[in-house]
Amino acid sequence: MSPRPAPRSRCTSPRAVVRVAVLGALGVGLVLSGCSRSEDEAEAAPSPSGFDVPDGVTLTDPGSTLDVGDEGTVVLDLGDGAASAVTVTVEKVRRGSIKDFRFFTLDEKSRDATPYYVNATVRNDGPAGLGGSSLPLLAHADDDVVYPASELVGRFRPCPSSALPKRFLAGASADLCFIYLLPRGTSLRSVDLQPGDAASAVRWRPKG
């Protein structure tokens, strides 16, 4: 893991935390929490001071709405002068079934949740290495709350790990899959790549 967490959205009151225990030898922890959006108060995050966008790279305007399959490019600032441009493509958004977790012991709230799986490709456009960092890709629900991806330890066939490789230098690419558990009565509005405050987000809206 990176010693510095990825930027998070501005929070008002976090939602309940749901922890899921697994049956058998596989260890897992799923965390479901949400943060209210504050777009009217947030300011678009500019590129870090002194950051030079690599040749041939064009940053996507903050607040842009993209179609699934389109590329979006932002700057991830890890602090201490470590920053890199990344290009993300949300390739597919799938609504799962809680039956996918039939080998897990679920509490009442998690049994009522709706899982969404988001497949994305990530390219490090440089200049810094991003190994072990977390990609700030969030699920934006129709109740205007954003949810971070749930973290799994072990193999989960419907959606493999969302972790970037431990070694992820400039020019490297990775295929990732993100798991989101949205509370009962909500659905996915968009998938938001949010490198700073809410106004900095680039959004992919799934069809249908």
How confident is the model over 46-67, as pLDDT tens digits?
566 678 899 999 999 999 999 9
The helix/strand/coil state of 79 is strand
Mean pLDDT of the chain: 78
**CA neighbor of 141 nearest in space, from 181, 110, 106, 179:** 181
- Identify whether the C-beta of residue 182 lies closer than 8 Å to the C-beta of residue 188: yes
| Residue 208: predicted pLDDT | 67
What is the spatial order of strands in the sheet that 82-95 belongs to?
Answer: 71-79, 82-95, 114-127, 173-182
CA 137, CA 191: separation in Å to the nearest integer?
Answer: 7
CB-based contact 74:196 (threshold 8 Å)? no
Closest CA to 126 of 62, 169, 81, 164: 169
Q: What is the pLDDT of residues 79-131, one digit of tens each?
A: 777 899 999 999 999 999 988 887 776 677 778 899 999 999 999 999 999 99
Report pLDDT for 12: 28
Please state whether beta strands 35-36 and 65-67 pair in parallel, antiparallel, or not at all (unpaired): unpaired
